[in-house]
Structure 1
Amino acid sequence: MPNWLFTKEATLQDLNLRNNLLTGSLDPIWHAQSSLSHIDIHMNRVTGQLPANLSSMFPVLYDLDFSINDLFGHIPTSMCEISSIGYLDLSNNKLSGRPACVFTNYPELSVLKVSNNKLGGPIFGGMNNLSNIYELRLDGNKFKGTLPHDLAGKLVRVIDLHDNQLSGELNVSFWNMSYLRVLNLAGNRITGKIDQHICGFTEIHLLDLSRNNLTGSVPNSCFIVLNFLNLTGNSLSGDISFPLFNTSSLIALDVRHNQFMGNVNWVGYLENIRLLSLGGNKFEGQITPNLCRLMYLRIIDLSHNKLSGSLPACIGNISFKGDTNDQFFQPANEITWVSDDYTTSYELMYFTFATKGNFYTYGRSFFVSVSGIDLSANMLDGEIPWELGNLNHVKSLNLSYNLFVGPIPTTFGSLKDIESLDLSHNKLSGPIPWQLTQLSSLGVFSVAYNNLSGCIPNSGQLGSFSMDSYVANTDLHNITQGNMCAPGPDPVVEEDVGEVPSDPVLYIVTAASFVLAFWASVAFSFCHPHGRTIILKL
């Protein structure tokens, strides 16, 4: 860190050293920099504590970005004496303590980011008025307490408090923030119901209340123009087939791991949806063919519900390519502030999908890098539609733990982008189609616990999987070096007493013994007087 820049009085106004490999600390600063208003050392390796004399060294500082470094210790009280600060970013460091004055001493502050530190104490330090704040990010810390009931700030666009230790009920009845676009309270300890007044945030584009302790039903007749809604990991219940939101605007809907019930016929109205995750609830009934209207889908997760009936063949008509303009998520991802100096973006987070046996969490690239279908752990039956073979852009397909019967469609050989295919724990029969050997991208594969028969193909990717992928198929066998089928991986079944030996020589000896014993019995019956007496009586 070139601290020699601060060793004498200078007329420097703007210092930008971001995205380098600078090391060292910020000390010493010997002379006040009376002209310096912008300092940016974002994404370096600067360590140590913040200088205690920041206010006297930088008296006119307006823009301060020390994010993504290795700074530790408390935020010095002198920093709060720089009343001119309008943009402060200390995120992604190791700062600790209770920065109460940060929330109250900056009359010009429009952007405050202290994400991913070890800061604690009461949220906002007792401050309710966010009159000049546009963006407030306090996520990834240890802030405690309840949310203020009368939070005000007509200019606020983003409030991100996720992954803290906040508690109490979500009461937004007196929140005066008519321009709020992003509200993220995920990963806290918030209880109670979702307040009906949340419908008053008519400009909101992203609402994330996931991973809390919310109960009850969701508000009805709520026409928020949402793009992203995440309620996963709560204890919410009831039927959500009524309009909670303006369905035509939704791009991502995640309500996994709650207790929602009812049918899923309403999903056909989510005409712009890219991510639809309803897994881990109590939805029942059939999968409606209306689902096939969702031509922009990239992710659908209906797993771990009580869905039944056959799978609509028209699902094979969905491209799972999204839209050619899937970078258009500007309403929630890029917000241009009224201030002339800053353009900032809000990254999507905590939208997850299970594939390759693991859960993966994706950010902004989620919608352009992943595509998949998860219908596992339901009660779906009938044959798997051959039309699913048209889904050549799907990377993950999970139909496991259902009641599917019949053969594996040979058309699955056309799933050229497939990386994970799980058909295990069904009632599928017939051979494994040789066409599956053409799936060059396949990394995870399972047809275990079915009724498959024939030989296990040993070419292509199928030859690289362990026997766990094929276990518990009684009539499914390996191909030996002589291109013969050998007994498969199933456990040895205890032989019956009268079972015919499998060795050919023993088979011949056994058969000959049986024939000789039969004719010996016949001869005895006719030749021996006692035998003739028994036959005459019969």
Structure 2
Amino acid sequence: MGLLVRVFLLSLLLVSSLAQLPSQDILALLAFKKGITHDPTGFIADSWNEESIDFNGCPSSWNGIVCNGANVAGVILDNRGISGIADLSVFANLTMLVKLSMADNNFSGSLPANLGDLRSLKYLDVSNNGFSGQLPEGVGKLQSLQNLSLAGNDFSGPLPDSIGGLSSLQSLDLSRNSFSGPLPDFLKSLRSLVSLNLSYNAFTKEIPSGLGMISTLEYVDMSWNQLDGGVDWKFLVESSVIHVDFSGNSLTTANPKELKALAEISETVKYLNLSNNQLSGTLIDGVELSTFGRLKVLDLSNNQLSGDLPGFNYVYDLEVLRLGNNAFTGFVPSGLLKDNLWFK
């Protein structure tokens, strides 16, 4: 009888000790902490420690941690001046993670192959750090992802085709990196996309057709890449986009009358920047400009445009017009001397 009692008591002790083990979420966070080399405010160093573990499963008292019941739902470390190698592979165990944001720090590392295991992730922002390497195919498994911001790092290589499967993605910001290769056709498959920023990379070839098929798209920035070919006028005429920036590329016009498409531009377009390209030909006749939509900013500077300037007499919404460093001739029309129009 005494033996049975001792076995029973040992079993209780074993169960009790197991219950006090940190959860896999906590272990993942502690593993990530090991890569931190500099934490000037002690945001992680003074908070993420075993002495303050909440054995309910989620360390709600830790800085930057958002809990949903017993699970970690958010890791938010933005703008803390933290340095270190960010081993994001350890977060694969955070099965209920919805938001991972560590923008504006000094993290280095790469996106791991198992990133796609974060099936609940909706928001990923590692912008303005020192991450590098190519994007893994696994990023395409993040089917819940709505916001992906990798801006201001040193990611390189072509974009994986798997990104085209991110059907929930609303914002994609890959600006200020070293991505290269042709712009992929799969961009038109991102049917929930509202904002697309691919500026300041080394993308090549033509602007992919079909962006107008994304009815939700409002913001497009592909400036300062190595794109060639023509402007996608069909996109500008048929889409509901608001802001378009194709500046700083090598875009050309196939024929001198191609710019007539400006007269048919969608009324949703408020900002259009085609500066610093190789556009040639003459601007459309001033009478046709009465159908110029609701454009507020138009930048055609630093191209190879020529001929007389149109009158711009019937353009009432335009606030900023940049036409400098072209080969225009003749006089400045009176329509460009309006008090509410900034002309250069």
1:422 equivalent in alignment to 2:276: no
Which residue is 1:205 aligned to?
Answer: 98
Task: String of CA shifts for 1:395-446, please: whole Å, max 9, x gaps.
Answer: 1000000000004360673321112111100000112235555345322221
Shift of 1:301: 0.2
Indicate the SS of the match to 1:427: coil
Measured in 2, the distance between the counterparts of 1:476 and 1:460 equals 21
Shift of 1:155: 5.5
* Equivalent residues of 1:297, 1:320 under 8 A apart: yes
Task: String of CA shifts for 1:433-465, please: whole Å, max 9, x gaps.
Answer: 355553453222210000112333323447955
* Equivalent residues of 2:274, 2:300 under 8 A apart: yes
Which residue is 1:148 aligned to?
Answer: 48
Task: Write the mapping of 1:125-144 to structure 2, written as runs, cut at 5 A.
Answer: 144=43
Task: Write the mapping of 1:96-495 to structure 2, written as runs, cut at 5 A.
Answer: 144=43, 146=45, 147-150=47-50, 152-153=53-54, 154=56, 156=58, 161=63, 179-195=71-87, 196-222=89-115, 223-225=117-119, 226-244=121-139, 246-266=141-161, 267-320=163-216, 371-406=218-253, 407-408=258-259, 410=261, 413-434=264-285, 437-457=290-310, 458-461=312-315, 464-465=318-319, 469-475=322-328, 477-478=330-331, 480=333
Closer/same/farther in 2, CA of residues 393 and 466 from structure 1, 3 Å limit: closer
Closer/same/farther in 2, CA of residues 474 and 188 from structure 1, 3 Å limit: same
Measured in 1, the distance between the counterparts of 2:317 and 2:44 equals 56
Measured in 2, the distance between the counterparts of 1:161 and 1:259 equals 28
Task: Write the mapping of 1:511-522 to structure 2, written as runs, cut at 5 A.
Answer: none
Closer/same/farther in 2, CA of residues 409 and 211 from structure 1, 3 Å limit: farther
Shift of 1:388: 1.2
Task: String of CA shifts for 1:21-67, please: whole Å, max 9, x gaps.
Answer: xxxxxxxxxxxxxxxxxxxxxxxxxxxxxxxxxxxxxxxxxxxxxxx
Measured in 2, the distance between the counterparts of 1:265 and 1:437 equals 43
1:200 maps to a residue whose letter is N
Shift of 1:297: 0.8
Measured in 1, the distance between the counterparts of 2:85 and 2:149 equals 18
* Equivalent residues of 1:449, 1:472 under 8 A apart: yes
Task: Write the mapping of 1:21-170 to structure 2, written as runs, cut at 5 A.
Answer: 144=43, 146=45, 147-150=47-50, 152-153=53-54, 154=56, 156=58, 161=63
Rg comparison, structure with higher value: 1
Indicate the SS of the match to 2:264: helix
Closer/same/farther in 2, CA of residues 259 and 437 from structure 1, 3 Å limit: farther
Measured in 2, the distance between the counterparts of 1:452 and 1:462 equals 23
Instruction: Name stretches of at least 5 consecutive residues in structure 2 with no aligned partner.
Output: 1-25, 27-40, 336-342
Closer/same/farther in 2, CA of residues 198 and 438 from structure 1, 3 Å limit: same
Indicate the SS of the match to 2:95: coil
Closer/same/farther in 2, CA of residues 466 and 375 from structure 1, 3 Å limit: closer
Identity of aligned residues (%): 23
Measured in 1, the distance between the counterparts of 2:61 and 2:291 equals 49
* Equivalent residues of 1:418, 1:439 under 8 A apart: no
* Equivalent residues of 1:258, 1:280 under 8 A apart: yes
Closer/same/farther in 2, CA of residues 160 and 255 from structure 1, 3 Å limit: farther
Greater mean alpha carbon deviation, residues 472-481 or residues 250-259: 472-481
2:313 maps to a residue whose letter is S
How large is the Cα RMSD of the aligned pairs? Answer: 3.1
Measured in 2, the distance between the counterparts of 1:476 and 1:257 equals 41
